[in-house]
A and B are shown apart, each in its own frame.
Chain A
Amino acid sequence: MKLLFPTLIALLLIYALIKRCDPYDAFVEGARDAVPTLLSILPNLALMLGSIAVFRAGGGFELISRLLSPVFGALGVPAELIPLLVMRPFSGSAALAVLSDVLKTYGADSFIGNAASVCVGSTETIVYTIALYCGSAGIKKTSYAIPVALISGAVGVITGIAAVKLLLG
């Protein structure tokens, strides 16, 4: 795995050279296009990460966890996982920090620890990703993308917990 991508990249450069299509020039041209894109995602990221920081500092994620605990309970999700699941769609680094807390508190090999790991692995920081992708492409109306993403996340979490119960006991 560590060798796969470097090898592929080297092969790509050699292939391009053999085909006489000037890989150096092609690389610079492509990378140049990345600069305006990077600048154009910055405003989206600033607003997104700024408001998430405000919400998080005020304890908003804890509040949502408390409000949503009956819903999660009805779906068979253990209460210990709720803060993690509420955080997950918004911030990847925050979710990993919460996961690390959960693993420390309940043990990395416990049912809760395994279930938390699977939930993080089978979901994505999707609200953030949609904001980033749509913002950088100039798409203002996300239509039904967010509800679909949340449905997919919920299915991932529920089947993930079931799979941990079945496979890891």
Chain B
Amino acid sequence: MRRTDIKENVSRETFSFLFVNSGAHRCIACYMMSLIITVLFAVGCLLCIVNGISPLDELISGADGAVKLCASLAGSYLIWMGLMNVAKRAGLVEKLARLIRKPLGLLMPGVSGAAAPITMNLAANFFGLGNAATPFGIDAMRELKREAHGSESATANICMFLALNASAIELLPTNVLAIRFSLGAADAYSIVLPTLISSIFAAVAAIIASKAFASIIK
């Protein structure tokens, strides 16, 4: 074997984990979240030490924040999941799902049980109820996973759902408006229309991009 061949083989082996390949089980790019966390933590640690800050203290206080966030989510989570079940038993969820299944099927083919929580999640986001959107989103993810027979990797439908969440279509960006009011903006609402327009562009881009990625990976 020529020397360059060996070199090429070695480099391909070494970096094979970087290539997104649906067949490869060990590619690191598939574990994107672990990659992000590891980079954030490792680089963060290094920077903290350089700047004379204790990374462990920051790590623990961040985790404390998680407990606080969970506690503050708990109330709305209990309420919305409870109400969702009332609507489910009254047959309203099934009605909503039947209504929305066809249009949703264009974006996410084969979606059935997840249709209702997906709709509720997108509606809650649209009306600026971020805390209510989270439980519906988690519910939707679990249903989508069940529809994928419990697969541990994100299916095309899951990626489409996450992409729609990423584009953040909101009628009123309530948090932003609250800050603008508190800082005395002359016309706090002036940003509503440009925000809506750019959200719609972002949603279209998200849909096109996830369809494109899905067809490449297939």
Q: Give A residues with C-beta under 8 Å from B.
A: 1, 4-5, 9, 12-13, 15-16, 19, 21-23, 26-31, 33-35, 37-38, 41-42, 45-60, 63, 92, 96, 99-100, 103-104, 108-109, 113-114, 117-118, 120-124, 126-127, 129-149, 151-153, 155-157, 159-160, 162-164, 167-168
| A34 closest partner in B (C-beta) | B81
Categorize the interface residue count of chain B. 35 or more
Residues facing A in B58-82 (CB within 8 A) are: 58-63, 65-67, 69-70, 73-74, 77-79, 81-82
Q: Does B100 contact A (CB under 8 A)?
A: no
Which single residue of chain A is at the shortest CB-CB distance from B79?
Answer: A31
Minimum CB–CB distance from B17 to chain A (whole Å) comes to 13
Q: Residue among A54, A57, A149, A164 with the most chain B CB within 10 A?
A: A54
Closest A residue to B182 by CB, please name it: A100
Say which residue of A55, A122, A124, A149 sits within 8 Å of B195 (CB atoms).
Answer: A122
26 contacts between A and B (CB under 8 A): A16-B90, A26-B86, A27-B83, A30-B83, A33-B81, A37-B135, A38-B77, A51-B59, A54-B58, A58-B49, A60-B43, A96-B176, A99-B179, A100-B183, A103-B185, A104-B183, A114-B194, A121-B199, A124-B168, A126-B165, A126-B166, A143-B158, A145-B154, A152-B163, A155-B204, A168-B190
Interface residues of B (CB under 8 A from A): 20, 30-33, 36-37, 40-41, 43-51, 53, 55, 58-63, 65-67, 69-70, 73-74, 77-79, 81-92, 127, 129, 134-135, 137-138, 141-142, 144-145, 152-155, 158-159, 162-163, 165-168, 170, 172-173, 175-176, 179-180, 183-188, 190-191, 193-199, 201-206, 209-210, 213-214, 217
Are A124 and B85 neighbours in the complex by a CB distance under 8 Å? no
Smallest CB gap from A42: residue in B: B70
Main SS of the interface on chain A? helix
**B63 with A50: CB separation less than 8 A:** yes
Q: Enumerate chain A residues within 8 angstroms of B66, measured Cβ to Cβ.
A: 42, 45-46, 48-50
Q: B67 and A151: CB pair below 8 A?
A: no
Q: Within the assembled complex, what's the spacing in Å between the Cα atoms of A125 and B210? A: 18
Cβ-defined contact, A38 with B74, below 8 A: yes
Which of chain B's residues have a CB closer than 8 A to the CB of A153? Answer: 166, 202
Given contacts A58-B58, A164-B191, 10 further A-B contacts (CB under 8 A): A26-B90, A58-B43, A109-B185, A122-B168, A132-B134, A133-B137, A134-B141, A134-B158, A148-B159, A151-B209
Given contacts A54-B45, A59-B51, A147-B213, contact A45 B69 (CB under 8 A): yes
Q: Which of A54, A103, A123, A130 interacts with B202 by CB under 8 Å?
A: A123
Write the nearest CB–CB distance from B177 to chain A, whole angstroms: 8
CB-CB < 8 A to A13: which residues of B?
Answer: 86
Q: Which residues of A sit under 8 angstroms from B48, Cβ to Cβ? A: 54, 57-58
For the complex formed, measure the closest distance between the CB of A91 and the CB atoms of chain B, giving whole angstroms. Answer: 10
Cβ contacts under 8 Å, B49 to chain A: 58
CA gap between A47 and B158 in the complex, in Å: 22
Among A30, A118, A142, A168, contact of B88 (Cβ-Cβ < 8 Å): A30
The minimal Cβ–Cβ distance linking B29 to chain A, given in whole angstroms, is 9
Partner of A45, one of B70, B77, B144, B145: B70
- Closest Cβ–Cβ distance, residue A19 to chain B (whole Å): 5
Q: Is the CB of A149 within 8 A of B89?
A: no
Q: Which 7 A-B pairs have the closest CB atoms?
A: A30-B85, A58-B47, A53-B62, A121-B173, A156-B202, A55-B44, A141-B153
